[in-house]
Amino acid sequence: MHALALRLGFFCTPSATYRVNLATAIAASMRPRSGSMVYQCAAISLPNFPLELARQTFAFATQDLSTPAGTTTWTIPTMDKTMQVFGSIFLDAGPSCSGASKVLKTASEPVVRVIATVMSGAVISHVVHKRGLEKLYLNFNFALVDENGELHPPKDANRIEIALTAQEVHEIRAQVLSDAMAFSAMGVPLSAAWLRQLGDETKAQMTEAMLHNSVTAPMPAPGKRKRRADIYEIDAIVEEKSGWYLVRWAGYHPSWEAWRTSGEVGSPVETWEQRRVLKNTEALRAWSG
């Protein structure tokens, strides 16, 4: 088929490429905007998007049968439908997306503090223009939910916050928490506050310890290379949870007091560490054996 298409002057593109391009475009648009722009509103257009693929992609949406010839329009009126449609699309968007949500994390932040979630009411149109050019248009709003559980609805063109009913708020929150659980299971680094919303106190404490360690770790002196972590003597591994190990250190430097996650000054320092830190150590071999 590809050879025949080339002889006829056409190029065949796999449907997976269209799906990835769609998912990538949606994910890229899910970011808060400021200034004179409308907050949390996305308008996407993709050229050369086949109508049959659009029908497959938006099979769970509601088709508007009153549109003129050459135009096919769908709406996504409920959060259940939103999850069905975007849940399928976001499978091609990478680990930053799951369900109807995308995690928002700046490069300077080691953890996710805000989650963006597509709201019900999205409108999709497929238009066949002159000369057979096909184009897909997608318009939707998304809410932001922060680590403290505060929900931020989008604003309209007049910068007025869009009013949500109690039912809509409940449905959005339920979707966000469901997606947050999926992100946690995927290993996405959620903040401790998010993990506590999910009821995972142990993982929340591990995250707090990790952030504390990364902030307070002593910096190497100018012109000197930082010493490898495995040159410090490990007294023992005392606990393991979710791939993290509680390590009791021996012969530590006094500056390590800042790394403490439990105990009193002068008692053995214990920190939660990943397996890679303990690679090829006697303590890990003893613990695993």
Q: Are residues 117 and 88 in the same domain?
A: yes
Tokens of 139: 């318009």
pLDDT tops 50 at residue 217: no
What is the mean predicted confidence (pLDDT) over 2-19? 65
Does a structural domain hold residue 222?
A: no
SS3 138: strand
Greatest alpha-carbon pair distance for the chain in Å reads 80
Does a structural domain hold residue 72?
A: yes
What is the mean predicted confidence (pLDDT) over 238-263? 67
What is the mean predicted confidence (pLDDT) over 242-264? 64
Instruction: Please tell me the distance from the alpha carbon of residue 4 to that of residue 8, in angstroms, as a whole number.
Output: 6
- pLDDT, tens digit (0-9, with 9 covering 90-100), for 42-85: 999 999 898 999 999 999 999 998 888 889 999 999 999 999 99
pLDDT tops 50 at residue 104: yes
Domain coverage including residue 281: 206-217+230-288
Q: What is the pLDDT of residue 121?
A: 95
Q: Are residues 269 and 139 in the same domain?
A: no
Q: Are residues 266 and 125 in the same domain?
A: no
Higher pLDDT, 24 or 216: 24
pLDDT tops 80 at residue 225: no
Residue whose token pair is 């010839």 = 69
Q: Are residues 181 and 87 in the same domain?
A: yes
What is the mean predicted confidence (pLDDT) over 229-240? 72
- State the pTM of this model: 0.70
Q: Are residues 140 and 263 in the same domain?
A: no
